[in-house]
Amino acid sequence: MSTKEALIQGLNEDLAAEYGTVIRYTYQSGKAFGLLGAELRELLAGEITDELGHAAFLTDVIVDLGGEPVTEPRQFDKPDGLKEMLALDEEMELNDVKNYMAHAELAGELGYIELKLKLEEMAADEAGHARELRRILKGL
């Protein structure tokens, strides 16, 4: 597999992850009760907007690179309880950070400078999401 093919495949995994996150956050919002649940719902609503923006960008880039964007979301766990949900979300956000940084490096190797910087920016977005989730987790 060429580096470019590896990049397209990696970006498609990221795209499936973004769709999975949008669905997971929507699902969790419906299952979040109480005052802390209300706070979580508000936080997740903002993050869903970010993740949809990431998905749209990845779709455009995959098409531009000559690939076929996936439309299937990555599957996710459905733990009961706010604490377990938040712990899962933080872990998955940090996982996304790792993947975006790895794919930013690939993009850099190929000389795709806009893509490299944008993927790093998206890694930073996910790191920010993880930090916000940690803030709520600390209160539990």
d(CA 21, CA 54): 11
Q: Which residue, among 131, 102, 94, has the nearest Cα to 11 in the 3D structure?
A: 102
Distance of alpha carbon 94 from alpha carbon 99, whole angstroms = 9
Q: Which of 51, 59, 61, 92 binds Fe ion (CB under 5 A)?
A: 51
Nearest to Fe ion of 51, 90 (CB atom): 51
Considering only 31-39, 60-68, 106-114, 122-130, which stretch makes contact with Fe ion by CB under 5 A? Answer: 122-130
CB atoms within 10 A of CB 123: 19
CB of 44 to Fe ion, least distance (A): 10
Which single residue is written with the structure tokens 């419906």? 30
Q: Quote the least distance from Cβ 2 to Fe ion, whole Å.
A: 26
- Segment near Fe ion (CB under 5 A), from 33-41, 66-74, 93-101, 112-120? 93-101
What residues line the site for Fe ion (CB under 5 A)?
Answer: 18, 51, 54, 93, 126, 129
